[in-house]
Structure 1
Amino acid sequence: MRASRVIPGLLAAGVVGAGAAFVIGMRNKSPWLQDRIRTFSKQFASEALKTAGQEGSTNGVVLHVGRSSGREYATPITPLPTPDGFVITLPYTSKVDWAQNVLAAHSATIVYDGVEHRVTDPRIVPYAEVAPLLPKSAGIVRALFDVQEFLRVTHAD
């Protein structure tokens, strides 16, 4: 068999295998995988922040204050607007620092579609509570990665 046919096949199998390992790791909430993804995400957050929150972008930014440091942070997120605020998918669970900061402060600012929204009453809720508010695509992502927790916030206005 020719190497020109074997190598692309091996590469494709490797990509499929890596993708399957990623999905399985996320569904099982693998601490090892989630730590690696969070580290990677933090390194590239500045790139994501360049367009997040701007008009027309599906990504937003949550502005929050560190529980211990008192520092202000900007974290890219994908907020899903609801009639009374936003729902944010938590694929890494509610234990991520930014979510814990928002919960501790009882408020934050979400920049979405070019507008700053002051939000309050943050709470962790299950999928069943927010399912009727979410677009079908969010349900697919939730099912694929077995997301169980969502952060729901209410407009402060």
Structure 2
Amino acid sequence: MRNKSPWLQDRIRAFSKRFASEALKTAGTEGATNGVVLHVGRASGKQYATPVTPFPTPDGFVINLPYTSKVDWAQNVLAAKSATIVYDGVEHRVTDPRIVSYAEVAPLLPKAAGVFRAVFDVQEFLRVTNAD
């Protein structure tokens, strides 16, 4: 992961997709560390639910992108310019999605997120703003 090997990233991404349904069982529920991004497919128009680890900010959320911003769910959110994040049992309608660097969001993230970022060399983050 740290070297951004396309071969390794593709294998991990495929594994994650296969077991996403297990992660979705608790993601977004009260007290869970993971949340869910509800988004609409760019081509299919189908509704999708993707487990993520959102970090709340004063104006929305930051989500790390260990597989880069090219993952389908991130591209769907960027294309739609909105999504819903279910976090700690609450649905949050979000808008203004944008890809940002670690330097831009570092002050907003907990220390553990910085460690994860360093270990997996995460370069991109999705930042969204609460619509309400």
Structure 1 residue corresponding to 2:31, chosen from 37, 40, 56: 56
Please tell me whether residue 89 in structure 1 is matched to residue 47 in structure 2.
Answer: no
RMSD (CA atoms): 0.4
5+ residue gaps in structure 1? 1-25
Higher relative contact order (CA 8 A, sep 6+): 2
TM-score of the superposition, structure 1-length normalised? 0.83
Deviation at 1:139, TM superposition (A): 0.5
2:104 maps to 1:119: no
- The DSSP-based 3-state class of the residue aligned with 1:103 is helix
**Which has a greater percent of strand?**
2
Select between 48-57 and 38-47 the one with higher mean Cα deviation.
38-47
State TM-score, norm by structure 2.
0.99
Return the alpha-carbon distance in structure 1 between the equivalents of residues 43 and 3 of structure 2: 30
Higher share in helix: 1
CA shift digits 1:111-155 (9 cap, x unpaired) = 000000000000000000000000011001101111110000000
| Count of matched residue positions in the alignment of Structure 1 and Structure 2 | 132
In 1, the alpha carbon distance for the partners of 2:3 and 2:73 equals: 22
Q: Secondary structure at the match of 1:130?
A: helix
In the alignment, what sits opposite 1:105?
Answer: 80
Any idea what SS the aligned residue of 1:141 has?
helix
Choose which of 17, 28, 39 in structure 2 pairs with 1:42. 17
Who wins on radius of gyration, i.e. which is larger? 1
Does residue 132 (structure 1) correspond to residue 132 (structure 2)? The answer is: no
- 1:26-81: CA deviation from partner (whole Å, max 9, x where unpaired): 11111111111111111111100000000000000000000001000000000000
